[in-house]
Amino acid sequence: MSFLSHLNPAPSFPSYTGPYKVGTTDVEIPAAELPSPSPTPDPSLSTVSFRIFYPCETPTKTAKPVYWLPDPQQEYLGANLPFLRILSYTTIPVIPNAKLLQANTKTKRWPVMVFSHGLGGTKNAYSHLLGSLSSHGVVVIAADHRDGSAPLSLVRKAPGSKPRAVEYKSISHSQTPEVEKARDDQLKIRLWELGLIHEALLKIDRGEPLMNTLAEKSPESMGDLAMFSSALDVHRQGSISWSGHSFGAATVVQLVKSVFYPSSKGAPSSYKPLFHPSASSQIAHQITPTSPISLLDLWCMPLLSKSTRWLNTQPLPCYAPDGPGGKNVVAILSEAFFKWGNNLNQTKRTISEDPSLDKPSMQKHAAPYIFYPVSSAHLSQSDFGILFPWLTRKAFKAEDPARTLRLNTRAILEVMRRNGVEVADTSAIDMEENTADGRVPGGQIGQM
- What is the DSSP code string of 187-235? HHHHHHHHHHHHHHHHHHHHT-----TT-SS-TTS-GGGGGGTT-B--S
User: Is residue 113's pLDDT more than 80?
Assistant: yes
Cα four-point dihedral sign 195, 318, 447, 378: positive
- For residue 9, name the pLDDT band (cuts at 50, 70, 90): low
Can you tell me the mean pLDDT for 108-114?
98
User: Is residue 435's pLDDT more than 70?
Assistant: no
| 17-66 confidence digits (pLDDT tens) | 999 999 999 999 999 999 998 889 998 899 999 999 999 999 888 888 89
Q: According to the model, what pLDDT value does residue 326 have?
A: 95
User: Is residue 264's pLDDT more than 80?
Assistant: no
Question: Exposed, middle or buried: residue 108 (CB in 10 Å: 0-12, 13-18, 19+)?
Answer: exposed
Secondary structure of 21-49 in the HEC alphabet? EEEEEEEEEEHHHCCCCCCCCCCCCCEEE
Per mean pLDDT, which of 48-62, 181-195, 420-434 is the most reliable? 181-195
Task: Give the SS3 label for residue 432.
Answer: coil
Per-position b or e across 200-217, b if 16+ CB within 10 A of its CB: bbbbbbeeeebbbbbbee
Name the percent of the chain lying above pLDDT 90: 68
User: Could you tell me which residues come within 8 angstroms of residue 426 by beta carbon, excluding any fewer than 6 positions away?
Assistant: 136, 410, 413, 414, 439, 440, 442, 443
Q: According to the model, what pLDDT value does residue 53 have?
A: 98
Counting every residue, how long is the chain?
A: 448
- For residue 81, name the pLDDT band (cuts at 50, 70, 90): low
Q: According to the model, what pLDDT value does residue 77 have?
A: 59
User: Could you tell me which residues come within 8 angstroms of residue 73 by beta carbon, excluding any fewer than 6 positions away?
Assistant: 67, 88
User: Is residue 135's pLDDT more than 90?
Assistant: yes
Can you tell me the mean pLDDT for 195-200?
97
Q: What is the distance between the terminal CA atoms of the chain, rounded to a whole angstrom?
A: 34
Query: In angstroms, rounded to a whole number, what is the distance separating the alpha carbons of residues 16 and 34?
Result: 33
Lowest average pLDDT, out of 254-258, 260-264, 443-447, goes to: 443-447
Mean pLDDT for the chain overall:
88
User: Is residue 11's pLDDT more than 90?
Assistant: no
Better pLDDT: 263 or 190 = 190
Q: According to the model, what pLDDT value does residue 73 have?
A: 57
DSSP letter assigned to residue 143? E
Residue 54: HSE in the Cβ half-sphere, 13 Å Cα cutoff: 29
Q: According to the model, what pLDDT value does residue 434 have?
A: 58
* Phi, psi at 26, each rounded to 5°: -95, 140
**173, 271, 273, 394 from 309: Cα distances, Å:** 17, 7, 10, 37
Cα four-point dihedral sign 288, 121, 277, 270: positive
| 157-183 confidence digits (pLDDT tens) | 776 678 888 988 999 999 999 999 999
Lowest average pLDDT, out of 47-51, 71-75, 136-140, 443-447, goes to: 443-447
User: Is residue 265's pLDDT more than 60?
Assistant: yes
- For residue 6, name the pLDDT band (cuts at 50, 70, 90): very low
Better pLDDT: 291 or 73 = 291
User: Is residue 71's pLDDT more than 80?
Assistant: no
Q: According to the model, what pLDDT value does residue 248 have?
A: 98
Can you tell me the mean pLDDT for 145-162?
85
Angle between helices 247-260 and 177-206 (to 10 degrees): 70
Beta strands at 139-143 and 112-116: parallel, antiparallel or unpaired: parallel
Whether residue 127 contacts residue 383, with contact meaning beta carbons closer than 8 Å, is answered with yes
Lowest average pLDDT, out of 57-71, 80-94, 116-130, goes to: 80-94
User: Is residue 439's pLDDT more than 80?
Assistant: no
Q: According to the model, what pLDDT value does residue 84 have?
A: 65
**81, 184, 286 from 255: Cα distances, Å:** 32, 13, 12
User: Is residue 445's pLDDT more than 90?
Assistant: no
Q: According to the model, what pLDDT value does residue 80 have?
A: 53
